[in-house]
Structure 1
């Protein structure tokens, strides 16, 4: 099948989404390493989501690639809200006994 035909969809750029997924994966890995690291891992997950919100805000729709789901405002709001919620919960939950 020939690429770039009349009906071909523009190629999506995967790197913005890969940055967020890599950050979330790193945070989850840190979280499962031990009982003392769950808070740091959770903060890393939240920060990765906040990085995604910033990426979606500053990149054009075309450059955002696979990070684009809905409109820019909706995407930024959801990523920022979830990122802030995860960071806040990680910092507010009291340590275990």
Structure 2
């Protein structure tokens, strides 16, 4: 029975591993935003979406887990599009602060 549990845990980790990686990068980005480094945090959040797009391209459907929402093409277009927009906006906004006047 122990071997069956270990196999089940390994299968679950391989299925949820890509999502955990993306969530870890997003958590780091949120920490940077909350510590007043909003530009770096926004780039990390956009980077997490780009990582999700790359993982969606590379991994088969049975290993992608919850990152598969729609078809592969739509997922990749949405993840990469939103990720690029976030990174470009974070890099191009100047003279902006998050504090209220």
TM-score (norm 2): 0.78
Q: What does residue 29 of structure 2 align with?
A: 27
How far does the alpha carbon of each residue in 1:25-71 deviate from its partner, in whole angstroms, 9 at most, with x for none? 1101111112xx11011101100110000000010111111111111
Q: In the alignment, does 2:96 pair up with 1:91?
A: no
Provide the aligned length of Structure 1 versus Structure 2: 86
Q: What does residue 62 of structure 2 align with?
A: 62
SS at match of 1:24: helix
Higher normalized helix content (fraction of residues): 2
Quote the Cα distance in structure 2 between the aligned partners of 1:74 and 1:96.
33
Quote the Cα distance in structure 1 between the aligned partners of 2:63 and 2:72.
12
Question: Once superposed, what is the RMSD of the aligned Cα atoms?
Answer: 1.8
SS at match of 1:70: coil
SS at match of 2:69: coil
How far does the alpha carbon of each residue in 1:69-94 deviate from its partner, in whole angstroms, 9 at most, with x for none? 11100111100001001101101111
Gaps of 5+ in 1: 1-10
What stretches of structure 1 move > 3 A for 4+ residues in a row? none
